[in-house]
Amino acid sequence: MRFAVGTQDYRSIATHGGRTRRFLVFEAEAGGEPVEINRIELAEDEVLHLAGDGRPHPIDAVRVVITGSSGEGFINHMKRRGIEPVTTLETDPVQAIRDWFAGTVKTAPPPEHPHEHHDHGPENAPHECHGAPA
């Protein structure tokens, strides 16, 4: 099974899944050691916070995405794509995958302030921010 782990430095888990541009991709099975098989580097307009549900995305090749603290919108977006979202306090990508198989994920709380204020496009355009109509 494939896992994508959000990262900024290719060593530790990033804290904001929706804005993360880099992912380590692992192949792992229960009882086995996770093996890094790929890396995804997203363009600025491909970050998951901005990617629409209806268009293909490089993250679609995984079954589970692991990040640090992420908002409800990111979590719902992943579920709509058929990907299990996991937030964790763990910083080591391999340990986070081991924890997932063991059922011992150290779940990260939702962010106190889910994101910096940012532009969602024209003022009157319909959009959704973190799972709720804005």
Domain chopping of the chain, boundaries: 2-102
Express each pLDDT in 112-131 by its tens digit. Answer: 754 443 433 333 333 344 34
Express each pLDDT in 77-95 by its tens digit. Answer: 899 999 999 999 999 999 9
Class in CATH terms, 2-102: alpha beta
Please say whether the dihedral angle defined by the alpha carbons of residues 50, 52, 55 and 59, taken in this order, is positive or negative: positive
pTM to 2 decimal places: 0.80
Torsional class of 103: left (φ above 0), alpha (ψ -120 to 50), beta (otherwise): left
Helix, strand or coil, per DSSP, at residue 6: strand
